[in-house]
Amino acid sequence: MLDPATMRLRNNIILAVLVAGAALAAAAQQPAAPAVIATTPASQAVPAQTVPLAVDRDPVRAPEGTVAAPATGPVNKEGPGYRIVTDVEEVVLNATVLNGSQIVQTLTKDDFQVYEDGVKQSLLSFQHTDLPVSIGLVIDNSGSMYRKRPSVNKSALDLITASNPSDEAFVVNFSDEAFIDCDFTADINKLRDGLSHIDSRGGTALYDAVVASADHLVEQGKRPKQVLVLITDGDDNASTLNLEQTIHRVQELSGPVIYTIGLLFGDEMTRAKVRHARRSLELLSGETGGMAFFPKSIEEVDQIAAEVARDIRSQYTLGYHSTKPTSVPGFRRIEVTAETKGMGKLTVRTRTGYFPVVPKQKQTAEVTK
């Protein structure tokens, strides 16, 4: 039996421990202050934000804070799958090369030059292989899309069918909220079911849907390349984020390429709205290395989906270590050029830049084919 003085001392110690534990738990639940980094050297700084993304109609939040995309280094064919050696210090670019309107697929590593903030970089890795892709199908489900969805769904499925059998895809339907109606799968029937969740109503929270889908793609995607295909018939009118914040967030992730298909025809949109929506979609695609398409009718969407699939399959993958330390913050502007004998001026389409991610460790991953 402890004497009264010892008992009081023991109880005081226990109470102090409990109070300290409660204080630590409360502090851990407080959100960290958002980082503020400029999208480009000339733009105003905007906070890094995330947007909730519901899964199968159940609320699940997108990852919080800055998520480092898995930088993909050399991809080697080993047995039945690919072995991907990733290096978080390596900057990886997926690039499409055009001679006029024709895709060029005969270039070598020595035909490319990469510049970061005006300084030439040395290429460490080079691939021109049909690598497996993680694809997010982000489809407008607002009220104005009701009559267009059957044709859009068919085109989206045709895009997946024309892709590598090792690709994986997920479906996000969005109006004023975004829902994952089919998570990552290679099963075309599951993707068809996800696309069939048509509940066309409400506004168009396009930017929120893009950010949440990009977060999910980077956090959960398992393939070497990552792509978002966004199909919408209007401008954003319901998001908590604006266009600059959306581009900033995707550039922080250092990975997803965004292809946009704007169904900007019909009597419901004014010329001013069409111009604004077109500019927004062109910036989303252009800043991430993708393409923006604007069909004149719903019948053209299937052809565009085939073109997107062909573009994804034809890309070069370039990797380099920046001459600038990763500890130096801020947006880094990228320019890639290509030239070879027998061809005129070539156009290279890739992302315009990135934000550096502080390296933690080198990693390896397996991709089953």
- Beta carbons of 205 and 141 less than 8 angstroms apart: no
> What is the C-alpha separation between 158 and 333, in angstroms, rounded?
35
Q: Name the strand (E) or helix (H) holding 169.
A: strand 168-174
Q: So what's the pLDDT on residue 53?
A: 64
> What is the C-alpha separation between 96 and 119, in angstroms, rounded?
21
Q: How far apart are the first and last CA of the chain?
A: 69
Q: So what's the pLDDT on residue 352?
A: 96
What does each of the 369 residues of the chain score in pLDDT, given as a tens digit? Answer: 445 444 444 444 343 434 344 443 433 334 333 332 233 333 334 444 555 666 544 333 333 333 334 444 444 444 444 444 444 588 999 999 999 999 999 999 999 999 999 999 999 999 999 899 999 999 999 988 989 999 999 999 999 998 888 999 999 999 999 999 999 999 999 999 999 988 877 889 999 999 999 999 999 999 989 999 999 998 899 999 999 999 999 999 887 999 999 999 977 778 899 999 999 999 999 999 999 999 999 999 999 999 999 999 999 999 999 999 988 999 999 999 999 998 989 999 999 999 987 655 443 334 434
Q: So what's the pLDDT on residue 326?
A: 86
What number does CATH give the domain 31-369? 3.40.50.410
> What is the C-alpha separation between 341 and 338, in angstroms, rounded?
11
Residue type present at position 223: R
> What is the C-alpha separation between 339 and 110, in angstroms, rounded?
9
Q: In what order do the strands lie in the sheet with 112-116?
A: 119-121, 112-116, 332-338, 353-354
